[in-house]
């Protein structure tokens, strides 16, 4: 007898609906003939043993007969253990254990344990989105993934704990209530941080540069000796970034769900991601890859912050692969069988020492490095990558008086209010002009000509800086973007010479270290 159920497979961060066709011949054999076709990977082929053991321990002792399972369409590679549940359900249906002859309005996903329990899987959110687009009204998922799937409106999500729960649900139609979730409420509950800028003493110049970077979505590089607070500042940057919108949260959650790093029972990524990979990471780990490509750190940082500490210690080939996502906001990974594109629009924050020993130009300690050693150290970072970093800021060591000061530093909440207000100005400007960007850092050359008009004084100041520091055309655009953000922070419609001058200061490290 033939029985059909629906399931789904994830490719990149999107899902495809898969029809699971189960045929049981009824002819008893001396050996177990259980075949899965339709380009299954090793995990799908191994489901044979999990499904048989789960059925047996749930009271369904399947005799050794010819069982053929086809995963259609057959020209798409299937991977993962999420097909266990629809396979087992199809076998029960093929032997007459289900009252319904077919199940067209429901989609089933889940891995089976040997005792018939249903375990969570990766990629539930994109599967729920695809089910809604295909007008499938019911989604039966493991309890661990239920809140994640319930974020998608327009489809009823039923959490299940065991195979028997699913069989009773199909036969009787009751016993399990659909789960409801309020995504906006979850986002509001997530806005709690355990670090704050009021913990950082001194570093007023660095804090100002970080506020500008967050207000305009600009990339930033911090240069200073060990112990000056570069990592401490970077960890607090997410606390002043604007909160995620629901659409951004869904997109971010899709990536984390596919990567398998979403915590069980968590319905939504409510905070902007903060990723800080170690400098021993490979290019595939940073950008994504694998036989069936998985998202890398740049995609896991989508809509958030990617922090690279000890920047020159990263292999040069790893840093060079950052150039495409920094410019395009996406990563395309091509393989012989497929080509996948992952979103990767993130803020880059990086930190480095000024020299191998870390004390070049330090006021209190003597640098032991020679000029050639310093040049070799900083030349590990290519000029094209440096051009894609809008702000370079010096972070000197904090002196004793600043550390012991009784003045209360400004909190992240106050800084965040100014950042959000500045971002709202940018969104209003771009929306009124029908531009599909939302912060100054995303402006192209065309946008710069539209929104960054300069007076004669500004033109002369910028021309002199370009000539004296030997800045590239890309650095010219970065200066104008940062100046536009500074003007927005001061609620000034036009860019003034003081805004240009401050933006130029944040490129002065080009002259100090890279010439």
Report the C-alpha gap between 515 and 506 in whole angstroms.
Answer: 16
pLDDT in tens, the chain (515 residues): 789 999 999 988 889 999 999 998 766 665 667 888 988 888 888 888 899 899 999 998 877 788 899 999 988 888 888 999 999 999 999 888 888 887 888 999 999 999 999 999 999 999 999 999 999 999 999 999 999 999 998 899 999 999 999 999 998 877 788 898 887 777 777 778 889 999 888 888 999 999 999 999 999 999 999 888 899 999 999 999 999 988 999 999 999 999 988 887 778 888 999 999 999 999 999 998 877 788 999 999 999 999 999 999 999 999 999 988 998 899 988 877 678 889 999 999 999 998 898 888 887 888 888 888 988 888 888 888 888 899 999 998 888 787 777 788 899 999 999 999 999 999 999 988 888 888 999 998 899 999 999 999 999 999 998 888 878 788 889 999 999 999 999 999 999 999 999 999 998 666 554 44
Asked whether the beta carbons of 265 and 144 are under 8 A apart, the reply is: yes
Q: What is the structure's pLDDT at 100?
A: 82
Architecture field, domain 2-172: 2-Layer Sandwich (3.30)
The order of strands in the sheet holding 2-11 is: 2-11, 14-28, 65-72, 33-37
How far, rounded to the nearest angstrom, does the alpha carbon of residue 261 sit from its chain's CA centroid? 10
Strands 138-142 and 156-160: parallel
Give the Cβ contact number of residue 134 at 10 Å.
14
The string over 284-318, giving b where at least 16 C-beta atoms fall within 10 Å of a residue's C-beta and e elsewhere, is eebbbbeebbbbbbbbbbbbbbbbbbebbebeeeb
Name every residue whose Cβ is closer than 8 Å to that of residue 371 and which is 6 or more positions away in sequence.
none
Name every residue whose Cβ is closer than 8 Å to that of residue 509 and which is 6 or more positions away in sequence.
221, 223, 392, 393, 394
Q: What is the structure's pLDDT at 265?
A: 73
Name every residue whose Cβ is closer than 8 Å to that of residue 337 and which is 6 or more positions away in sequence.
77
Reported as half-sphere exposure (CB side, CA atoms, 13 A), residue 361 has a value of 13
SS3 assignment, position 99: coil
SS3 assignment, position 462: helix
> What own/partner pairs with CB < 8 Å and gap ≥ 24 does 11-15 have?
11/76, 11/292, 11/338, 11/340, 12/258, 12/293, 12/340, 12/341, 12/342, 13/126, 13/254, 13/255, 13/258, 13/295, 13/342, 13/343, 14/126, 14/130, 15/123, 15/126, 15/127, 15/129, 15/130
CA neighbor of 81 nearest in space, from 33, 136, 122: 122
Domain segments of the chain: what residues?
Answer: 2-172
Report the C-alpha gap between 212 and 8 in whole angstroms.
Answer: 44
Report the C-alpha gap between 265 and 454 in whole angstroms.
Answer: 52
Please calculate the CA angle 146-152-155 and round it to the nearest 5 degrees: 85
**Runs of H (alpha helix) within 315-399:** 316-320, 323-328, 371-378, 383-387
**Distance linking the first and last C-alpha atoms of the chain:** 76
Tokens of 377: 């150290």
Report the C-alpha gap between 135 and 154 in whole angstroms.
Answer: 8
Report the C-alpha gap between 124 and 81 in whole angstroms.
Answer: 12
SS3 assignment, position 499: helix
For residue 61, count CB atoms less than 10 angstroms from its CB and return exposed for 0-12, middle for 13-18, buried for 19 or more.
Answer: exposed
Reported as half-sphere exposure (CB side, CA atoms, 13 A), residue 29 has a value of 12
């Amino acid at each position: 007898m033939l029985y059909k159920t629906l399931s789904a497979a994830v490719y990149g961060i999107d899902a495809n609906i898969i029809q699971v066709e189960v045929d049981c011949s009824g002819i008893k054999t001396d050996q177990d003939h259980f075949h899965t076709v339709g380009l299954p990977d090793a995990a799908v082929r191994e489901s044979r043993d999990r499904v048989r053991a789960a059925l047996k321990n749930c009271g369904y002792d399947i005799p050794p007969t010819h069982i053929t399972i086809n995963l259609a369409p057959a020209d798409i590679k299937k991977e993962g253990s999420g097909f266990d549940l629809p396979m087992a359900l199809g076998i029960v249906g093929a032997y007459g254990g289900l009252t319904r002859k077919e199940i067209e309005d429901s989609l089933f996903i889940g891995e089976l344990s040997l005792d018939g329990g249903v375990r969570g899987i990766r990629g539930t959110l994109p599967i729920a989105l695809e089910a809604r687009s295909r007008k499938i009204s019911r989604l039966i998922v493991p309890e661990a993934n239920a809140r994640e799937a319930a974020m998608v409106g327009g489809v009823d999500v039923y959490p299940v704990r065991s195979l028997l729960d699913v069989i009773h649900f199909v036969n009787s139609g009751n016993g399990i209530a659909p789960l409801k979730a309020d995504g906006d409420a979850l986002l509001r509950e997530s806005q709690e941080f355990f670090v704050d800028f009021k913990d950082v003493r001194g570093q007023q110049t660095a804090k100002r540069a970080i506020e500008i970077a967050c207000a305009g979505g600009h990339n930033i590089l911090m240069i200073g000796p060990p112990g000056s607070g570069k990592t401490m500042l970077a960890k607090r940057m997410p606390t002043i970034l604007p909160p995620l919108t629901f659409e951004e949260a869904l997109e971010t959650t899709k990536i984390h769900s596919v990567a398998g790093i979403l915590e069980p029972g968590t319905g939504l990524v409510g905070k902007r991601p903060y990723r800080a990979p170690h400098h021993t990471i490979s290019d595939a780990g940073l950008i994504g890859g694998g036989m069936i490509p998985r998202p890398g750190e740049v995609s896991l940082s989508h809509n958030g912050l990617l922090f690279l500490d000890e920047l020159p210690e990263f292999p040069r080939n790893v840093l060079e692969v950052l150039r495409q996502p920094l410019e395009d906001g996406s990563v395309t990974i091509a393989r012989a069988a497929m080509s996948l594109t992952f979103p990767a629009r993130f803020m880059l924050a990086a930190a480095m020492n000024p020299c191998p020993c870390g004390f070049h130009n330090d006021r209190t300690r003597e640098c032991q490095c020679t000029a050639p050693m310093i040049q070799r150290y900083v030349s590990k970072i290519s000029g094209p990558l440096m051009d894609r970093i809008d702000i370079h800021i010096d972070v000197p060591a904090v002196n004793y008086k600043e550390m012991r000061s009784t003045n209360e530093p400004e909190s992240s909440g106050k800084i965040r209010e100014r950042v959000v207000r500045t971002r709202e100005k940018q969104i209003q400007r771009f929306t009124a002009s029908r531009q599909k960007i939302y912060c100054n850092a995303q402006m192209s050359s065309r946008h710069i000509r539209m929104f960054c008009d300069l007076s004669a004084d500004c033109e002369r100041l910028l021309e002199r800086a370009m000539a004296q520091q030997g800045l590239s055309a890309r650095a010219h655009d970065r200066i104008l973007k940062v100046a536009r953000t500074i003007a927005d922070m001061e609620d000034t419609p036009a860019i003034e010479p003081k805004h240009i001058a401050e933006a130029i200061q944040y490129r002065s490290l080009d002259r100090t270290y890279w010439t």
